[in-house]
Amino acid sequence: MIERFPGLLLLTLILAGCSADEHDHPELVSGKQLYDYHCAGCHREDGSGLFLKGVPANRDTDLSAWQIMHKVKEGEEGESESRMPVFARMPEQEATRIAVYLKQLGRN
């Protein structure tokens, strides 16, 4: 089936490659792996942010793990102009792992 539609496959790959919300990565399991993949591009691996690009540090955020999870998946309540992408397709379990990892990162 896929061999018969190479164009479709290519298109899917292109679309997926452009999206920050790419969710086909069974090889990523731990909170660190998932964070590095989805978040570090903006917030850096150590969570210190990219000041020049207007990305704040997130390692010492006041948000709780639950609030981080919510922000990542749905955006923060009452915050209409956030420049942070919403990862609507991210599975809850994955968002939880990332949130827990981030809270732990802030403690070090």
Residues that bind ligand HEC (CB under 6 A): 20, 38-39, 41-43, 54-56, 58, 61-63, 68, 71-72, 82-85, 87, 98, 102
User: How many residues in the chain?
Assistant: 108
Least distance (Å) between residue 13 CB and ligand HEC: 20
Minimum CB separation from ligand HEC for residue 25, in Å?
Answer: 13
Closest by Cα among 75, 85, 107 to 18: 85
Q: Which is nearer to ligand HEC, 28 or 42 (CB)?
A: 42
Residue 14 Cβ vs ligand HEC, minimum distance, rounded to whole Å: 19
Q: By C-beta, is 10 or 74 nearer to ligand HEC?
A: 74
CB 56 within 8 A of CB 78: no
Please say which residue, 7 or 26, places its beta carbon nearer to ligand HEC: 26
Q: How far apart are CA 82 and CA 31, in angstroms?
A: 24
CA gap 23, 29 in Å, rounded: 12
